[in-house]
Amino acid sequence: MSTNIFAPQRLYLLQLGRATVPAADRTLEMVLGCYLVETSDGKHILIDSGLPADVAAPAGVPSDRQEKNVIEHLSALGLHPDDIDILICTHFDVDHAGYH
């Protein structure tokens, strides 16, 4: 019996930027990011895709500071969006689903 399992070989945290979020007693700074999983059989799985640089954050969204978009991160790893085999969207907020 043959089993086809995507075994992770590498996991990348692609740091896209930071968001400043006011809280009751302090201001929090969150890292905005997504993940790229490279499997042992050469597949690429992207988890979330971040906020595109040319899209303004909607009203009510914390002030985002984008450092590098997902396309730039992929390029730095020698990849193109067409190299992504599976895209997983954790939820449809613009900072998670902006590129798909």
- According to the model, what pLDDT value does residue 18 have? 80
Q: How far apart are CA 20 and CA 53, in angstroms?
A: 17
pLDDT at 100: 63
| Residue 2 covered by a domain | no
Q: What is the pLDDT of residue 72?
A: 92
Q: What is the mean pLDDT of each run of 10 residues along the chain (100 residues)?
A: 68 87 83 91 92 62 69 96 95 70
Question: Is 85 within 8 Å of 72 (Cβ atoms)?
Answer: no
Pick from 40, 43, 41, 99: nearest CA to 73: 99
Residue 42 Ramachandran class (φ > 0 left, ψ -120 to 50 alpha, else beta)? left
Number of domains in the chain: 1
Q: What is the pLDDT of residue 38?
A: 95
pTM for the full predicted model: 0.75
Domain assignment present for 3? no
Question: Which positions ≥6 away from 23 have C-beta within 8 Å?
Answer: none
In the numeric block, the tokens 């075994």 are attached to 7
3-state secondary structure of 96: helix
Its domain, for residue 59, covers 8-97
Residue 93 is predicted with a pLDDT of 72
Q: What is the CATH number of the domain that holds 22?
A: 3.60.15.10
